[in-house]
Amino acid sequence: MRTTRPGPSPSRGLLFCGALALLLPAASAAQGDVYLKLSTSERKQIALAVGRLRIIGKPSMADAAAAGQLLRIVADDLTFSLYYRMIEPPPDTGFGFRRDAIDHEAWRLIGAELVLVPSLTAAKGSVACTVAVHDLAQRREIHRRALPLAQGRGAAHAASDEIILRTAGERGVSRTRIAYCGKAGTGKELMVMDYDGYGASRLTAFGSTVLSPDWSPDGSRIALTSFAGPQTVIYSLDLTARSSRALLRQNGLNVSPAWSPDGSSLALSASREGNPEIMVYDLRANAQRRLTNSWAIDVSPAWSPSGREIAFVSDRAGTPQLYIMDADGGNLRRLTFEGNYNTSPAWSPKGDLIAFVSRVNGKFQVCTIAPTGEGYAQLTFQGDNEDPSWSPDGLHLAFSSDRAGSDDIWLMHWDGSEQHPVPTTGGATMPAWSPFLPEQKP
């Protein structure tokens, strides 16, 4: 059954083609009760207005500019979250306040239910920036948080997620990160950035080409494939120690690692016994178990959020199509029947949709379908679009697109709306959205 979602009103099959080629000869929770908890059956957006920065005392122009930048980040985070319908206040700089007190009725008259009131106070040689949220119906402040200017974008993202948790009762994705494969010389290395494209850094220096990053459920590790000479090796990268270790170094193809939801194993595609088959590698037992047994090429496993099923790609019907099987390899059934080239399944954390890539009129497009095979929808229409990856709340997708002339990472909402690039350099592919991450303490 499909989950109702909040939202606005109504690598070109790389791993599959690569498999064929290689086979040929030579965060912290807010305290207190949750306010305005949204039910799973009805997702009414909350009407939220963001007031102008209130200046108290005489902060420097640099501090005022820094505060303004952080507040823009908070506003962008809240808008992107889909939990809010943003209300634009009138241009009057004094709107919404009367004798330094909030004018609840003025905000309600423009349709707001909540108002975020930011302030910057300079006193006794120190500067403090805060954001407060007011419930206009109850005529009271329901949340307040400091916004340390020295902590920059991280402070803004943390404040955004706390506001979302307090007012919508859901975890926000503002502090999540996106790993991706970025161009480095003649190859590709693993990179990571904030969800909005800022704060990018390089994580690997293999001097080769890395593919298919996938985050562990706790966000502490990333599994990936690296071409090491004639072999493809699956590595696990420890993000705390910034060290990597080879998990699988065996003959043939070893690609598309996917962490199980409990973090105990990896599904992957390996050809050690001939053609590529879906395997499960038990990390504790250091043992592999074969799930598929077909003459065909089977690649790109994707776990269901319950861990009870796995979607994957196979050409056993003559062309690449999506299939689903139970986690033990049983109850296999075909999922996609529309189109003759469907790859790269990504199962939504909500469990209700599977994103994938389909070749449509000679171009590769991101689509979604329910695990039952119903509700097929094409989300992208310009250029080639690949490698869909869900945000941990299941409301957004990252993907790579060449529509602007080079491969870049783009974001969109679950229904395909509001597609936009994030500021990565050209040559960025295979995004992998992190799980929810704990708040980093200064």
Percent of the chain whose pLDDT exceeds 70: 90
Is the pLDDT reported for residue 11 higher than 80? no
257: helix, coil or strand? Answer: strand
- Torsion from C-alpha of 224, 228, 230, 235, nearest 10 degrees: -30
Q: What is the pLDDT of residue 29?
A: 34
CATH of 46-168, one of 3.40.50.720, 2.60.40.10, 3.30.390.30, 3.40.50.10070: 3.40.50.10070
Helix axes 61-81 and 152-168, enclosed angle (nearest 10): 40
Between 11-25, 28-42, 206-220, 373-387, the lowest mean confidence (pLDDT) is in: 28-42
DSSP 62-113: HHHHHHHHHHHHHHHHHHHHSSEEEEPPPS-TTTTEETTEE-HHHHHHTT-S
Pairing mode of beta strands 46-50, 114-123: parallel
Q: What is the pLDDT of residue 22?
A: 41
Is the pLDDT reported for residue 43 higher than 80? no
Q: pLDDT-based confidence at 333, cuts 50/70/90?
A: very high
Long-range contacts of 310-316 (CB under 8 A, 24+ apart): 310/267, 310/278, 311/335, 311/345, 311/347, 311/354, 311/371, 312/269, 312/278, 312/345, 313/15, 313/16, 313/342, 313/343, 313/344, 313/345, 315/16
Is the pLDDT reported for residue 28 higher than 70? no
pTM of the entire structure? 0.91
Is the pLDDT reported for residue 42 higher than 80? no
Place of tokens 């996609």: 336
Yes or no: say if 86 and 79 are a contact pair by the CB < 8 Å rule. yes
Yes or no: say if 396 and 8 are a contact pair by the CB < 8 Å rule. no
Long-range contacts of 355-364 (CB under 8 A, 24+ apart): 355/379, 355/388, 355/390, 355/397, 356/322, 356/388, 357/12, 357/13, 357/385, 357/386, 357/387, 357/388, 359/13, 364/12, 364/13
Bridge partners (DSSP) listed for residue 85:
47
Q: Where are the domains of the chain?
A: 46-168, 176-433
- Write out pLDDT tens, residues 119-176: 999 988 899 999 999 999 999 999 999 999 999 999 999 999 999 999 999 999 999 9
* Alpha helices in 211-353, H assignment, sequence order: none
Does the fold of domain 176-433 match that of domain 46-168? no
Look at the chain and count its residues: 442
Between 82-96, 325-339, 356-370, the lowest mean confidence (pLDDT) is in: 82-96
d(CA 371, CA 377): 13
Pairing mode of beta strands 46-50, 84-87: parallel
Mean pLDDT across 51-68: 94
In angstroms and rounded to an integer, the radius of gyration of the C-alpha atoms of the chain is: 24
CA atoms within 13 A on the CB side of 351: 9
Q: What is the pLDDT of residue 441?
A: 60
Residues 6+ apart with CB under 8 A from 262: 217, 307
DSSP 295: S
Mean pLDDT across 263-269: 97
Give the class (CATH, top level) of 176-433. mainly beta
Q: pLDDT-based confidence at 4, cuts 50/70/90?
A: low
Mean pLDDT over each residue of the chain, to the nearest integer = 90
Mean pLDDT across 262-287: 94
